[in-house]
Amino acid sequence: MKDFKILLLLDRLRWLFAKFGIDYPIMRKILQVKLLMDSRKAPAIIGQRNKKKQRNDSNQFIQSLWIYLIIGCFMIIFIVFGDHFLFQMSLYFGVLMFMVMMSVVSDFSTVLLDTRDKGMILTKPVNSRTLGLAKAIHVTIYMFYLTIAFSGPALIVSLFKHGFLFFILFIIELIFVNILIVVLTALLYMFVLRFFDGEKLKDVINYFQIMLSLGMAIGYQVLVRVFEFVDLEIVFNLSWWHYLIIPIWYGAAFEYVMNGMDRMYLMLTLFSIAVPILAIFYYLKLLPTFEHNLQKLSSVQIPKRKSTKSLFSRGGKWICQSREERIFYQFAHKMMKNEREFKLKVYPILGMSIVIPFIILFSFLRESNLSEITANNSYIIIYFSGLMIPTLVLMVQHSSNYKGAWIYKVAPLGDLSALKTGTLKAVLMNYVVPTMLFEGVLFTILYGGRIIPDLFAVLLAFSFLTVLCFQLFTPSLPFSEPMDTVQQSQGVKTFLSLILIVLLMGVHYLAIRLWDYGVYMYLIVLFFANALMWRKIN
């Protein structure tokens, strides 16, 4: 069996694991198998027939890290300019924690909450603490890969710019912040598992992930507002609530070491080291309880039938043109509603899409008041709520029940266009339209009724973007590929989709700036563009 270099590095700490009652040889073997399984790409049953069959032993997550490397190159600016390390490094670690936490929540929660290996492993002479720590280390390994890609450029630049001491401190703080993120996420899941069970627990976990994503986004905005700019100087006045903002702990460590031993930063620096260590001890103590409570996720309860249907579930009657399309609309609606792994991937980005326009709006308040902002065309930032569309379209290919996709080939259908259009319309009615309604009401309250035509234009733009992303990035039929083929390489497609969103926003902005009735011209263009794209699917 292939031995991984990261495990050889882990071997140096086997004495430490033994002190905590961890069976290290067993844990190492579990990790080795998990890493080996990660490097094997599962085949899809549909949409892959024309592709060359080959064995791929390279890990797709590792191959996709170049995206984080590019973002990390832009983050060098926090290292190069200035020597106010508290401000610079707090912002740097704020961005880093946001990126890592989003990856943990959206991509690795299923690893921490996995119950499939319990029946196979815990029936052997393996204690639950060993299995639980193996899962946590499994996630931590990938978080370190992500962090190395993201922080590698900054580390290299820091060595030449600020010296060896800064470089070593940077590495130490990166290790502690990764440990803290994984352990805190696991502890939060532990808290949820303790107070809920059954189907209710599974729903609560989905909502919890949304709140976690929103909390990270809002917390980053709070971090920026901790610092004040007076006469081009950065001013920081320590208050008790600053101790609750984790990135400041790590920024304070650099300020304390590099700019003099100020006692004001000593306690914050100690927090950056002590809290991750204490969190590890607490997590190891509660690991058996955590693994025991994971059994709640395996419990099956027959849900009560609801006689009433939501407005969006009945939407297929109004927007679907044929009986087959209405059937597939209802099918996609139920699949997205009941697929928990689908919601684990989609809900975090859905929450972010809702809050991002308001985060940008609040950032404008630093330089202007609300009346000045609402008098201009800044409502165009509502386009950023479309960030969820690429993820929705990409995820709609996948299902935990993908083996049932053979039914597409034996169903008495002339073609499968009704399946595609019905699914896309379900995506629009279940996620895009509700989000636009929520955002539209709030933006109308802020900007007034004058933006209502613009909101209709944005909705048509999102419809166009949904179909375009499906045509460009979705080679397989809906719900026909396994969930474990969802790879981080899809981040490339998401990045390209972001460019499309910015282009649509730019065209909209130019239309309303250059012509008095530009928004109506834009509406007409979008109407015909949508008609063309939807007809192309058929």
Residue 391, both tokens: 């993820």
Q: Does residue 55 have a pLDDT over 50?
A: no
Q: What is the distance between the terminal CA atoms of the chain, rounded to a whole angstrom?
A: 49
Helices 452-473/490-514 angle, 10° precision: 150
Q: How confident is the model at residue 48 (pLDDT cuts 50, 70, 90)?
A: very low
Q: Which of 106-110, 372-376, 528-532 has the highest mean pLDDT?
A: 528-532
pLDDT tens digits, one per residue of 280-308: 888 888 888 877 777 776 665 555 555 44
62-71, 169-178, 372-381: range with lowest mean pLDDT: 62-71
Handedness of CA 16, 20, 23, 29 (dihedral sign): negative
* Beta carbons of 182 and 139 less than 8 angstroms apart: yes
Q: For the chain, what are the domain ranges?
A: 79-297, 316-537
Q: What is the pTM of this model?
A: 0.67
Place 455 in a pLDDT band, splitting at 50, 70 and 90: very high
Q: Is the pLDDT of residue 196 over 50?
A: yes
DSSP for 97-153 reads HHHHHHHIIIIIHHHHT--TTHHHHTTSS--HHHHHHHHHHHHHHHHHHHHHHHHHH
* Averaged pLDDT, 424-438: 90
Read off the pLDDT band of 231 (50, 70, 90).
very low
Q: How would residue 491 be classed by pLDDT, with cut points 50, 70 and 90? A: low
* pLDDT given for residue 265 in this prediction: 82
Determine which of 84-98, 200-214, 238-252 has the lowest per-residue pLDDT on average: 200-214
Task: Name the least confident of 33-47, 370-384, 494-508.
Answer: 33-47
Q: What pLDDT score was predicted for residue 220?
A: 61
Average pLDDT, the chain: 79
Q: Mean per-residue pLDDT for 509-532?
A: 90
The closest alpha carbon to 437, from 425, 455, 453, belongs to: 455
CA angle 493, 496, 500 (to 5 degrees): 130
Give 348 or 49, the one with higher predicted confidence: 348
Question: Which residue has better confidence, 23 or 316?
Answer: 23
Binned at pLDDT 50, 70 and 90, residue 9 comes out as confident
| Number of Cα atoms under 13 Å in the Cβ half of residue 144 | 15
- At 459 the pLDDT is 93
Q: Which two tokens stand for residue 327?
A: 């059937």
Other CB atoms within 10 Å distance of the CB of residue 455: 20
Residue 181 to residue 30: CA distance in whole angstroms: 22
How does residue 8 score in pLDDT terms, banded at 50, 70 and 90?
Answer: confident
Going by the DSSP 8-state scheme, the letter that residue 2 receives in this structure is P
More confident: 513 or 367: 513
Q: Where are the alpha helices (DSSP H) in 294-339?
A: 316-319, 323-338
Average pLDDT over residues 163-188: 88
Q: What is the 3-state secondary structure (H, E, C) of 396-461?
A: CCECCCHHHHHHHHHCCCCCCHHHHHHHHHHHHHHHHHHHHHHHHHHHHHHHCHHHHHHHHHHHHH
Instruction: Band the pLDDT of 259: cuts 50, 70, 90.
Output: confident
pLDDT tens by residue, 116-156: 777 778 778 888 888 888 888 888 888 888 888 888 899 99
